[in-house]
Amino acid sequence: MAHSLFNTMTATPAYDGKPAKLVELTNPNGMQVVIMDIGATWLSCVVPVAGEKRDVLLGLSTMEEFQQHGSFLGVTVGRYANRIANSQYEYQGETYTLAANQGAHCLHGGKDGWSHRRWDIASQSEQKVEFTIFSEDGDQGFPGNATASVSYELTSDNQVVISYKASTDKTTPLNLTNHAYFNLMGADSGQDVLKHKLQVCADYYLPTTSEGIPLGDLESVDNTSFDFRVAKTVGQDLLADEQQKNCQGYDHSYLLDDSCKTGRSVATVEAPDSSMSMQVFTDKPAIQFYGGNFLAGTPSRTGGEYKQYQGLALETQYLPDSPNHPEWPQESCMTQPGEEYAFTTVYKFNV
């Protein structure tokens, strides 16, 4: 059972009239992770640091806040993470129209995507839980009956291993991710993340419009504010160019270098006081770095509100709008019948 901080989360029924189910994972180091079945949501990540228990994950404490907030805190996003332009794509001569939920565009799977639905708990143990969901043909406009699972495992060396699997009976775009926001000084410390150091193993990023829709081609990070190949603070080059000013900061995808996908971390974040760091490992082709530019006003776990830049997200995924860009240098985002969609992302916390 999850710790008492989240009792209020289960006190109010969810959208389907039933209370949420919470699962707490613990490891021998005293690290604790709380996950909720609604949205298969990562609610909390408590890491022991210098004698204190520090929750490094932004989160909510009531169901009302969860149902109303628009920041996707910690949820599992699907069928398709990030944006699909004008809520449509063409595949083999047929046009598919999706549910629009961010202006004209489809964001994170549509207005009733997987992020706010109840997932079934398939199995659980002290250090691992697996959730499953079924999505019928035509759900949010996506073709095919799709079945998906996500498992969270808290290892004994402070890794949170998130494994995604899915299958479909019609060709459909699939792109699952977790939308966790991290603040290594503590989610409720009141500090922003601008002094966190970030390193991203990527030579190319994807410029976008102010609505987050890709302009077309990947561009080199050379001589831009998007170059995180050598660690620098998030705030060092904040708002230094038009691409960032378009969206009040960083909210862009990076195409990960192949060299990073063979055991090397694709991204590393370090706390300003060097008390801890977090490494990200994945076999996904891209990562979205979002600096929390629009967090202001989002309810916080302690009854207040989060501020702009109070957490950062590192969402492993396909590049946004990939169904409309088969020419991009990544594997296809379309999952075929008989294929298994299978990817893993690891967040490793080093104290």
Which residues participate in catalysis according to the annotation?
179, 315
Reduced 3-state DSSP string for the chain: CCCHHHHHHHHCCCCCCCCCCEEEEECCCCCEEEEECECCEEEEEEEEECCEEEECECCCCCHHHHHHCCCCCCCEECCECCEEHHHEEEECCEEEECCCCECCEEECCCCCCHHHCECEEEEECCCEEEEEEEECCCHHHCCCCEEEEEEEEECCCCEEEEEEEEEECCCEECECEECCCECCCCCCCCCCCCCCEEEECCCEECCECCCCCECCCCEECCCCCCCCCCCEECCCCCCCCHHHHCCCCCEEEEECCHHHHCCCCCEEEECCCCCCEEEEEECCCEEEEECCCCCCCCECCCCCECCCCCCEEEEEECCCCHHHCCCCCCCCCEECCCCCEEEEEEEEEEC
